[in-house]
Homo-oligomer: A and B are copies of this chain.
Amino acid sequence: MAKNFVSREENYSQWYNDLVIKADLAEYSAVRGSMVIKPYGYAIWEMMQAALDKKFKETGHVNAYFPLFIPKSFFSKEAKHVEGFAKECAVVTHYRLKNDENGKGIVVDPDAKLEEELIVRPTSETIIWDTYRKWVQSWRDLPILINQWANVVRWEMRTRLFLRTAEFLWQEGHTAHATKQEAEVEAKKMLGVYTDFAKNFMAMPVIQGVKTENERFAGAIETYCIEALMQDGKALQAGTSHFLGQNFAKAFDVKFLSKENKLEYVWATSWGVSTRLMGALIMTHSDDSGLVLPPKLAPFQVVIIPIYRKEEERLAVIAKGNQIKEELEKLGIRVKHDDRDTQKPGYKFAEWEFKGVPLRIAIGPRDLKNNTVELARRDTLSKSFTPMDGLNDTVVNLLDEIQNNLYNKAIDFRSEHTTEVNNWQEFKEVLENKGGFILAHWDGSSETEDKIKEETKATIRSIPLDYDESEEGKCVYSGKPSKGRVVFAKAY
């Protein structure tokens, strides 16, 4: 399985790409920039969806579905939004094909041209706020707390599986509120939900922060974000939550009669995470032996592999495997019993190790005699013979331990790769040689931010929420006064 698999150090980018493909997570399709999410990859995404959806519902949100197509004119209504989103997108211009008159297959029917082109949604603020106008009259109609699971399309020129694809899957929350304060609370609350999910399910530590104007969502007043650190020292934006102010309400004329009987514009938020999280998950934990999955998001938390030569051995170890599976499943553990007779144990070991199953249980005839199993951890690649008695508890505890261990390893990695720098020379050196998050003073101007990006490709990932205004200093680039350190990194 792990044959021809390069190490991270050798070629990180190829390591990632090969891992995605060889672990059966996804592959490129016949359509440029679009991917096929394969069953094993999709199963992980389903686990993510289930956990997030539960959290959204617990925080009072409901799901709905809005159209895939958005009339072109909608994008022009919010001045900044159109700049950010209406450019690289898929445009539907016709609604019919016909047989070619010269018998050369099918061609677009020129008579079936749409009066107004339709854009395949790159994000749904416009169509949703056009709809909310009809739903909102009074303060009694607020808040609206809606989420949508959907596919979106952004015509990216350079694509990478999960990280940047023309079509991707995501959820987008779109909420409407009577007051500014309520919308601000919502935007921050959802950032908290994402942070919690990243930490407790993905075992991935993130920095909570606010985007600078340059990096802000097109149409937002404030973009909150969580930023994670990948093993190559690059940052990955893992989720965003936008306080949109009244921008979209004004663009789509969404007003309500307040308790005080005044006609006011509605306040908005939007927030989303996407299949990009798959990329983040992979790059946070995986190693040179393949995928490593945190137990909470592993489609199979335990794989059982029978070892045998003779038929009677086969029957005995498989019976035992079935029994263990059944007992573990009663505890809510997801178990794969790989009892295929078409593959050898060594092949199965390699396959499931590469696919990141947290725990492997191997059972052979000797184990039956000794009343033991061989238990192998994917995170540490350690093995041990373990008594069959008490195996359930052992497994439950180990899964917890693995989940925690992965988080702690990621925290440690991040700590080691987070550096405070105090001058421009140091900034460039750290960025070049060590990478990671760089905490540095910045003068607050877009101009400086642009220049730093131009010279180094590093961007301000965020002004951290725990931004410390007491620590004043001087901008590493311009030397002008700074009120605190912001987070720089090269990013995906």
Contacts and interface: CB of A to CB of B under 8 A. Distances in A.
A91 B90 contact: no
Interface in A9-28: 27
A96 B92 contact: no
Report copies per complex: 2
Contacts of A342: 140
Given A42-B64, A73-B105, A36 B93 contact: no
Contacts of A42: 62-65
Contact of A39 (B69, B91, B146): B146
Category for how many chain A residues contact B: 35 or more
Interface in A130-189: 130-131, 134, 140, 146, 150-151, 153, 155, 167, 169
A64 B86 contact: no
A435 B313 CA distance: 65
A63 B91 contact: no
Given A46-B63, A64-B38, A88 B93 contact: no
A406 interface: no
A64 B39 contact: yes
Contacts of A30: 67, 71, 74, 127, 130-131
Interface of A: 27, 29-31, 34-39, 42-43, 45-46, 62-76, 82, 86-98, 105-106, 108, 117-120, 127, 130-131, 134, 140, 146, 150-151, 153, 155, 167, 169, 342
28 contacts: A27-B134, A30-B71, A30-B130, A36-B65, A36-B131, A37-B64, A39-B64, A42-B64, A45-B65, A65-B169, A68-B120, A68-B151, A68-B153, A68-B167, A69-B90, A72-B105, A72-B106, A73-B105, A75-B106, A76-B105, A90-B92, A90-B94, A91-B95, A91-B96, A91-B97, A93-B108, A95-B155, A150-B151
